[in-house]
Structure 1
Amino acid sequence: MLNQNPLWKTLLVLIVVFGCGLYALPNIYGEDHAVQISAGRNAQVTEQLLDQVNDELTKANIAIKRIEYANDQILVRVPDSDTQLLAREHLETALGDEYFVAMNLAPDTPEWLANLGGSPMKLGLDLRGGVHFLMEVDMNSALEKALEDAQGDFRTALREEGIRYRTVRAKENAVDIQFRDQEALDKAEFFLRNRNRDLVFDEKDDLVLEATFSEARLLEIRDYAVKQNITIIRNRVNQLGVAEPLVQKQGADRIVVQLPGIQDTAKAKEILNATATLEFRMVDQKNDIRDAMNGRVPPGSQLIDDRNGVPQLLEKRIMLTGNHIIDANSGVDEYGLPQVSISLDSDGGNKMSRNTRGNIGKPMATVFIEYKATDERDADGKLVFEKHEEVINVATIRAQLGSNFQITGIDSPQEARDLSLLLRAGALIAPIQIVEERTVGPSLGKENIELGMQAIMWGMALVLFFMLIYYKAFGIVANIALVSNVIMIVGIMSMIPGATLTLPGMAGIVLTVGMAVDANVLIFERIREEIRDGRSPQQAIHHGFDSAFSTILDANITTFIAGLILFAVGTGPIKGFSITLMIGIATSMFTAIIVTRTLVNLIWGGRRVEKLAI
């Protein structure tokens, strides 16, 4: 008999629809207002802190639903937004500056469902509310840092090659190398040209060789500065507990940061605007630190205080910057003493190897540098940043170091953990400043959700009513497939880590509802034609599905390609629309062709049918 389902196809439909329905389920549970506590510098979130938070809120008579401790963070769930604001203010006062206390919205997914990996759809800024920042990277600082790196590389390379020079000095957009004689200059120029293909060398007066970056290298420096800052900003956003933040490049030197669900703009700005970097320098043992403290600092050295306010005399020459660190972990050495294991990229490993080869047994300092914005602005109207430096660790070099090495001489395991966190967080290539800030209130986001849901529900209701009246029993089958389609879209959007539902995305769902029904209309009209041509009901069903398949496939493939182009070239709302559109096309193809046919075969297939209700 025609139109009989193989067992595998029926099981496939059941598994796919049930699986998507299971992962769509978290969306009906909603979210809790929550206060999130994470550790700042020199602090750690422990279970003892959880007890302290609980006691503080109980003493202040602040109602809480429950307190959770996970992933080195504490999440306090409260009944409403007023209680959330009260709890945040009280905990900020009680815990001080050592901890970040931020307001957030936390999914209220049941534990059994969360253990299966279930989580609600990530909502965009326009639906959930939150903050939008446009940040600008200080490219002048990025170029200065690149020039400092080139200056250090020139010194090391010329010294290893045995070429004598007088001075190596970085100036605006170039590095000048002065030599003792013309022979040394010519030899150095030949050597450095072959070694640095991305630099342009020009011979100047007074035996000076000037090195400048090529246009391609300048473009690479700017692009790397933005990309590295994007990576570090994403790490910092994790402190705010944002499930799906948007951090992406805009233009040549700007970064867009969107934090859905975040209501504490002051704390978000504090974390994102904190610009920090790391440097490794040798401790100056040739000169007397007491002379330096009395005002006689050697030209090639610098006094920098450590965490306890004790001055350390360091060489100005930077051995390595923190942007070469790819991983850092705390642990203990063979004697049970605390240490930090560091992994560098290949370029950083080569620099560290060259710089430590002749410094075995000498102390090396790790310097933490922070750029804080002042109220002053330069001639271009950009904020002026003030530089703060602090020695966070001094350790003795035991052997020549490479891409992987350990920092020892650390006082305690806690200090080792703190140092590893600082190193692992990464170093911003250049300071950044917030040039634009927008806040979308949660009430506006809630209104957008309600209006969007109304559009989807009314659109579905009208389509379901039309199909039921016009196609009778086959309309019921189409309606079941249509509901399954929406459930699958929600389930898939919830499963995909990077998918975010925006207001245009909801428009994409409404459009998909119409397109899904369109495929059923083509199939059902084809079945009607086959019946009018005198075919039996079973033959009409069989030929109707087979004949309409190519038309449905062609129409959906062209629309999917359009959605793919929108996703590739679009940003923000356009991306949100294209994601739901492409997912909707895939699910509507599955439901219109496979689910509908499976249901039709279960009801009418494999038996004698005199008449079809279509």
Structure 2
Amino acid sequence: MLHIPLWKRVLIWGICALGLYFALPNFFYPRVEGHNDAIAVLEKGGSLSPEQAAAREAWPAWMPASLVPLGLDLRGGAHLLAEVQVGDVYKGRMDGLWPEVRDALRAERAVVGNVRRVESHPGELRVTVSEPAGMDRALEIVRGLARPVVSLTGIGQNDLEVRREGEVIVVGLSEAERKATDDRTIQQSLEIIRRRVDEVGTREPTIQRQGSDRILIQVPGIGSADELKALIGTTARLTFHPVASQTTDAQAPVPPRHHLLPSMDERGVYYVIEDAPVVTGEELVDAQPSFDQNNRPAVSFRFNPTGARKFGDYTANNIGKPFAIVLDNEVISAPVIQSHIPGGSGIITGRFSVEESTQLAVLLRAGALPADLNFLEERTIGPELGQDSIDASKKASLVATAAVVLFMVASYGLFGAFAVVALAINIMLIIAVLAAIGATLTLPGIAGIVLTMGMAVDANVLIYERIREELRQGRGPARAIEEGYDRALSAIVDANVTTMVIAIIMFALGAGPVRGFAVTLGIGILTSVFTAIYVTRLIVVIYLGWRRPKTIVV
């Protein structure tokens, strides 16, 4: 006879109740979303407007507030495909290596003579020495500057390749170091883009690597692709350089290894600065909007210990000399060093508005992109189109639900209604799981849910047809139901396991929409098996215990 222990009944209904509990916020999406936005403002230390305070109170604090994030195609937003210019990093490495090579060779000036850097291709450093007899010693010194490659694939290899071409020492990155540098550059760019996007409070962005040097960026809810580019495309490359001279001539001659950069504040003023920076923005640990001594908007900053030491040493040795603060090839300011500045803290002043100082602080705090981005593809999806997609998805879901309900009730009567109840619980469980794991719901994901609605009743069809066979053989209602569930189990498991394997393969090999479909399909398989085998069986057992029918019609 059919028998389900009390603990198992409690467990089944408990899972269903938890599903309803965690899925409930999604039926009040705008209200819960406003509540979550207000909570996020408070967590960042901000104050709430009257509208935000009302939104916060619109949803009970004791209720769950996890929502299923909506993808770009449902919410609208911006889509960018960016290519990271990794070659810029090679050039930066060589420019940063030059002072170290120069100082190391100058320590052996008696052997190698004078040291001079000559023109070279980007990503290479070419150096000459005035004493040809000291060339072998110079090569030995430069090779001694190499360090082991920091990567799993580069174990046992050095980061520099040093060779001799005639009377020139050529220094470049080894192949293993280039691969490691590429990986670090992409990962750093991903993290910085993510931090910049998160700083402005956007919801559930998709930021992921594509191929060897490309990054896919999808941000729902943002106004346009141009707005997104303005947020992440600015490199915010902050550097501090010694100043050689100041001029008003935009075509002024520039000594080797120097640059002529315009002033951001003073129109027509240009500064000749050294190429090699003393400190870079990569050594910043914090940047906050503030005000200077004249109560004008400014940005205060703080270096890490390494940057603080460099900054302190330079200011101590160059009192009375100007020092250029450069942001993205523009001189923000060039103050004269009045005294030694220990501690690694300072302030950037300029003609900022409060909004500009806040935005600059955000960019600096998020870090400098290690390389420029070349945007290969950009799209803006308006919220109207996203709402149209939601409306169309609702219609498709309703039509699918109505068709399934009609078919099951017409084919199996009361038992078909039991399957429909289990189907509603199944959809609720899918939404609860999606909200719990934070999986983004897209149009392909909705397609996966709609497909699951059809698949969810497949198990019930197998079970009910098996029960019909048992009834034809003359078995009683309880025995027929028990045999129907037991003998249909192998077919149900086989069908769903094979589908789950396909979902796993799609998730592993696919990207974007394919993964969204695979996630909802995989979750739907698990929940549909649970509802078909356990929930409908429990409903049938409760019905049999209540009505005790002599015969049943399936």
- TM-score > 0.5, shorter chain as reference: yes
Report the 3-state secondary structure (helix = DSSP H, G, I; strand = E; otherwise coil) of the residue aligned with 1:171: coil
Residues 228-247 of structure 1 mapped to structure 2, 5 A cutoff:
228-238=188-198, 241-247=201-207
Which of 107, 116, 135 is equivalent to 1:167? Answer: 116
Q: Do residues 131 (structure 1) and 71 (structure 2) align?
A: no
Report the 3-state secondary structure (helix = DSSP H, G, I; strand = E; otherwise coil) of the residue aligned with 1:318: coil
Question: For the residues of structure 2 that align with 1:342 and 1:178, how far apart are their CA atoms?
Answer: 35
CA contact (8 A) 1:131 1:263 kept: yes
Question: For the residues of structure 1 that align with 2:360 and 2:505, how far apart are their CA atoms?
Answer: 45
Question: For the residues of structure 2 that align with 1:224 and 1:317, how far apart are their CA atoms?
Answer: 22
Question: For the residues of structure 1 that align with 2:202 and 2:418, how far apart are their CA atoms?
Answer: 41
* CA shift in 2, pair 1:538/1:195, >3 Å: closer
CA contact (8 A) 1:139 1:430 kept: yes
Deviations 1:32-60 (A, max 9, x none): 9xx99xxxxxxx99769x7xxxxxxxxxx
- 1:518 partner letter: D
Which of 256, 259, 264 is equivalent to 2:219? Answer: 259
Question: For the residues of structure 2 that align with 1:598 and 1:446, how far apart are their CA atoms?
Answer: 39
Q: Do residues 468 (structure 1) and 409 (structure 2) align?
A: yes
Report the 3-state secondary structure (helix = DSSP H, G, I; strand = E; otherwise coil) of the residue aligned with 1:112: coil
Q: Do residues 2 (structure 1) and 2 (structure 2) align?
A: yes
* CA shift in 2, pair 1:443/1:391, >3 Å: same
Question: For the residues of structure 2 that align with 1:367 and 1:445, how far apart are their CA atoms?
Answer: 44
CA contact (8 A) 1:141 1:430 kept: yes
Q: Do residues 200 (structure 1) and 161 (structure 2) align?
A: yes
* CA shift in 2, pair 1:115/1:142, >3 Å: farther
Q: Which residue of 2 aligns with 1:15?
A: 17
- 1:184 partner letter: R
Report the 3-state secondary structure (helix = DSSP H, G, I; strand = E; otherwise coil) of the residue aligned with 1:435: strand
CA contact (8 A) 1:138 1:431 kept: yes
Q: Which residue of 2 aligns with 1:61?
A: none
Q: Which residue of 2 aligns with 1:481?
A: 422
Q: Which residue of 2 aligns with 1:556?
A: 496
CA contact (8 A) 1:304 1:389 kept: yes
Residues 63-74 of structure 1 mapped to structure 2, 5 A cutoff:
67-68=51-52
Question: For the residues of structure 1 that align with 2:403 and 2:507, how far apart are their CA atoms?
Answer: 30
* CA shift in 2, pair 1:563/1:419, >3 Å: same
* CA shift in 2, pair 1:183/1:572, >3 Å: closer
- 1:388 partner letter: E
* CA shift in 2, pair 1:13/1:139, >3 Å: closer
Question: For the residues of structure 1 that align with 2:325 and 2:478, how far apart are their CA atoms?
Answer: 80
CA contact (8 A) 1:4 1:602 kept: no
Q: Which residue of 2 aligns with 1:57?
A: none
How many residues matched? 512
Q: Do residues 390 (structure 1) and 325 (structure 2) align?
A: no
Question: For the residues of structure 2 that align with 1:459 and 1:442, how far apart are their CA atoms?
Answer: 25
Which of 89, 95, 111 is equivalent to 1:148? Answer: 95
Unpaired runs of 5+ residues, structure 1, are: 37-43, 51-65, 71-107, 333-337, 371-386, 400-404
- 2:21 partner letter: G
Q: Which residue of 2 aligns with 1:437?
A: 378
Question: For the residues of structure 1 that align with 2:164 and 2:441, how far apart are their CA atoms?
Answer: 58
Shift of 1:483: 0.9
RMSD of aligned C-alpha atoms? 4.5
Q: Which residue of 1 aligns with 2:135?
A: 182
Question: For the residues of structure 1 that align with 2:485 and 2:190, how far apart are their CA atoms?
Answer: 50
Shift of 1:249: 2.9
CA contact (8 A) 2:21 2:64 kept: no
Shift of 1:487: 1.8
TM-score, scaled to structure 1: 0.70
Q: Which residue of 2 aligns with 1:540?
A: 480
Residues 60-139 of structure 1 mapped to structure 2, 5 A cutoff:
67-68=51-52, 111-112=58-59, 116-139=63-86
Which of 171, 180, 188 is equivalent to 1:220? Answer: 180
Report the 3-state secondary structure (helix = DSSP H, G, I; strand = E; otherwise coil) of the residue aligned with 2:222: coil
Over the matched positions of the two proteins, sequence identity in percent amounts to 34
Report the 3-state secondary structure (helix = DSSP H, G, I; strand = E; otherwise coil) of the residue aligned with 1:501: coil
- 1:185 partner letter: A
Q: Which residue of 2 aligns with 1:407?
A: 345
- 1:21 partner letter: A
- 1:2 partner letter: L
Q: Which residue of 2 aligns with 1:328?
A: 286
Q: Which residue of 2 aligns with 1:501?
A: 441
* CA shift in 2, pair 1:342/1:492, >3 Å: farther
Question: For the residues of structure 2 that align with 1:245 and 1:394, how far apart are their CA atoms?
Answer: 43
- Structure in which a larger fraction of residues adopt strand: 1
- 2:191 partner letter: T
- 2:457 partner letter: V
